[in-house]
């Protein structure tokens, strides 16, 4: 978990590769389902193009069928989920129901200023449709209002590790691997 631009996606991918876990990258999953239509007629892509988070009911409509495709004995690194309390409660229950009793939350902390700088740079490089200045501001506001409040829930229901996301990618990776007791080779 962490704000946009914190490097959570990069770190999740590196950790999943190192451990041989499935990398559940919520943004990529949603971008792959852009044409999925909800009962109200909205599509995943239409919602994402506005730069807003999908609602809990929308996310919870999508993820159970996707989770069912992952072998039960496969480890999972969740990236960009949970973003709201309903998602956090669903995931903790889902993990507990499958006997995964010791989930770990890695929170990559990054200041709002650093997050904005990184997102502006990413917007210039990747040219993602949702990386407009307005979209970036909207997503950071949503993160602050919806995601930050669930950190206490994650602290209470998982092993919670907070990492400073401001150093280089390699330094953050070394810190995460070190805290988890994973050899970084």
**Domain of residue 115, CATH code:** 3.40.50.300
Q: Residue 20: pLDDT band by 50, 70, 90 thresholds?
A: very high
The range of the structural domain enclosing residue 174 comes to: 8-25+75-180
Helix (H, G, I), strand (E, B) or coil at 179: helix
Prior bond of 82 cis (ω within 30°)? yes
- Of the ranges 107-111, 122-126, 171-175, which one carries the lowest mean pLDDT score? 122-126
Predicted local confidence at residue 165, as pLDDT: 97
Has residue 63 been placed in a domain? no
What is the pTM (predicted TM-score) of this model? 0.90
- Spell out the residues 6+ positions from residue 13 whose beta carbon is closer than 8 angstroms to its own: 23, 25, 79
Q: Which of 1, 4, 28 is nearest to 135 (CA)?
A: 4
Give the rounded percent of residues in the chain with a pLDDT score beyond 70.
Answer: 97
Q: How many domains does the chain have?
A: 1
| Domain annotation covers residue 166 | yes
> Quick one: tokens of 9?
């996606």
Say whether pLDDT at 124 is over 90. Answer: no
* H helix or E strand, kind and range, residue 59: helix 56-67
DSSP letter, residue 40: T
Strand ranges for 2-128 from DSSP E: 22-25, 76-79, 104-109
Query: CA of 128: how far to CAs of 24, 27, 121, 144, in Å?
Result: 20, 12, 11, 22
Report if residue 120 sits inside a domain: yes
């Amino acid at each position: 978990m962490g704000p946009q631009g914190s490097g959570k996606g990069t770190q999740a991918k590196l950790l999943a590769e190192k451990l041989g876990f499935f990398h559940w990258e919520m943004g990529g999953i949603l971008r792959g389902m852009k044409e999925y239509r909800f009962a109200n007629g909205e599509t995943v892509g239409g919602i994402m193009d506005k730069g807003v988070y999908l609602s809990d009911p929308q996310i919870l409509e999508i993820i159970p069928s996707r989770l069912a495709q992952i072998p039960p004995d496969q480890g999972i690194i969740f990236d960009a989920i949970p973003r709201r309390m309903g998602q956090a409660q669903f995931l903790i229950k889902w993990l507990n129901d499958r006997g995964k009793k010791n989930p770990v939350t890695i929170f990559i902390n990054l200041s709002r200023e650093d997050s904005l700088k990184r997102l502006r740079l990413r917007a210039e490089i990747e040219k993602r449709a949702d990386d407009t200045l307005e979209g970036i501001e909207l997503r950071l506001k949503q993160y602050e209002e919806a995601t930050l409040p669930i950190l206490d829930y994650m602290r209470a229901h998982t092993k919670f590790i907070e990492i400073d996301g401001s150093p280089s990618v390699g330094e953050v990776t070394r810190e995460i691997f070190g805290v988890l007791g994973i050899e970084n080779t």
